[in-house]
């Protein structure tokens, strides 16, 4: 069954008629031709498809497009405001935090989500003081919070410092 929805991806609004079984990832890539989010596993296991949905990171292969009707979807490309790279884009380049780059848009969206979660004081499973109400993005915190984003090239040793540098600049790493 098809349903009429409106997807808003990276600030571009698009009316779409989609089968109710269509994932947000497939709607973006196959219908809107937005190939920033990547399909790695299509099963919520790799994080390559990570986007921000109303500011919260999600695996877009696990989200039905119809549930994103009217929501604000941001991909890694969309983080580049006014054509200028986001601080995370710059940091990933500076720290050489990729090899093939296939996982990178998902890594960057996830990192943007991590920074926002830390700014709001959200704890993770490695946070020592759950009552502190603040988050310090140590390397262990970054590794834990980014654990859903796999890198087949194993660029983790560079991804962590790339995220840490931006966290430090944003005051969520001491």
- Rule CB under 6 A: which residues touch ligand FES? 39-42, 44-49, 59, 61, 98-104, 151-153, 155
Q: Which is nearer to ligand FES, 44 or 123 (CB)?
A: 44
- Enumerate helices (H) and strands (E) in the chain, giving the number of each: 5, 5
Q: Which is nearer to ligand FES, 66 or 151 (CB)?
A: 151
User: Nearest to residue 49, comparing CAs of 67, 27, 69?
Assistant: 27
Give min distance, CB of 162 to ligand FES, in A: 12
CA distance 89 to 138: 20
Give min distance, CB of 110 to ligand FES, in A: 10
Q: Which is nearer to ligand FES, 47 or 78 (CB)?
A: 47
Give min distance, CB of 100 to ligand FES, in A: 3
Give min distance, CB of 130 to ligand FES, in A: 27
Give 120's contacts (C-beta < 8 A, 6+ positions apart). none
What sections of 55-97 are H helices per DSSP?
87-94
Q: Which is nearer to ligand FES, 60 or 127 (CB)?
A: 60
Count the alpha carbons within 13 Å of 45 in the hemisphere toward its beta carbon: 5
């Amino acid at each position: 069954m098809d349903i009429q929805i409106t997807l808003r991806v990276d600030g571009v609004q698009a009316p779409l008629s989609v089968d109710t079984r269509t994932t947000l990832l497939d709607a973006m890539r196959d219908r809107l031709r937005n190939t920033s989010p990547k399909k790695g596993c299509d099963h919520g296991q790799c994080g390559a498809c990570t986007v921000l949905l109303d500011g919260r990171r999600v695996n877009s292969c696990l989200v039905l497009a119809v549930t994103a009707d009217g929501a604000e979807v941001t991909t890694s490309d969309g983080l580049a405001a006014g054509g200028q790279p986001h601080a995370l884009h710059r940091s990933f380049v500076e720290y050489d935090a990729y090899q093939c780059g296939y996982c990178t848009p998902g890594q960057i969206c996830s990192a943007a989500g991590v920074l926002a979660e830390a700014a709001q004081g959200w704890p993770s499973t490695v946070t020592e003081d759950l009552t502190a109400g603040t988050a310090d993005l140590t390397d262990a915190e970054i590794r834990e919070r980014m654990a859903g984003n796999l890198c087949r090239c194993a660029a983790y040793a560079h991804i962590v410092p790339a995220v840490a540098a931006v966290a430090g600049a944003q005051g969520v790493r001491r």
